Amino acid sequence: QNIWESPVFIPIESIGDGARKLSAIQRNWHLHSEEHHRRAALIQEKLPHVSEKPLRFGDPAPTAPLGSWTLWEPGLILASARCSSPFPDGEVRFHENKIDPPSRAYLKLWETFTLLPKRPGPGDLCLDLGSAPGGWTWVLASLGAQVFSIDKAHLAPQVEAMPGVTHCIGSGFALDPRHAGAVDWLFSDMICYPDRLYEVITRWIALGSCRNFVCTLKFQAETDHITAAKFAAIPGSRVMHLSCNKHELTWVRLEATPDQLS
């Protein structure tokens, strides 16, 4: 979720000294409190306020640098001005829609699209494998994309009735990319072993019939680090642990833009 990319120890003489030394580095800091909670909170209170309001989906991610810090000892701060996430502790909180989507799985796509430079829209054809009850299909159709969803179960009625949604009863593993034709995006939140999903995805990549991928790697009792590394090794890939992921990772592969190819 959030990697501290430049951690340093900062000796401090007092609460005020700690706040001054952090402020001298940059404005925005988030306290990740592990020990000495009261003293750490007093230091944080002296730092400039950082808004942690929930996002509305579609709002951009924050662009201002947000550092993280913790009070390692009463007189020693561990801080990192550079972090991998612009959100406190990497937690992306939204104003949730508790009425329309049939499950909370939609939050994974909301978070993914908030972090990515692009998302599907009108004119895009999306394939949603293992889609029922339809949380991801709901997000994609809400963005105006055409969605072909596949699952052995039906979608929730309100999702199946959305404009642009076509649902097929069947297995996401059984769809042959040679027969499916070209798609703009392939999505999978299927419950399956990661190595089986890897076999499906590499078939699509080999044929070059899909431009963008977003898939959840769902682990059982043990994390399959070997298969996770194989996904990460696919050229152009990114593997993330979203705040909405549980014992999962999210794998993304986007088509390179012209400026990335130049």
Catalytic residues: 218
CA pair distance 9, 73, nearest whole angstrom: 10
**Which residues, in sequence order, are CB contacts of 233 under 8 Å at separation 6+?**
none
CA pair distance 45, 10, nearest whole angstrom: 18
Q: Which two tokens stand for residue 251?
A: 């794998």
CB atoms within 10 A of CB 98: 7
Closest by CA to 205, choosing from 171, 238, 172, 234, is 234
Start-to-end CA span in the chain (Å): 31
H/E element holding 128?
Answer: strand 125-129
DSSP 3-state of 250? strand
CA pair distance 86, 90, nearest whole angstrom: 7
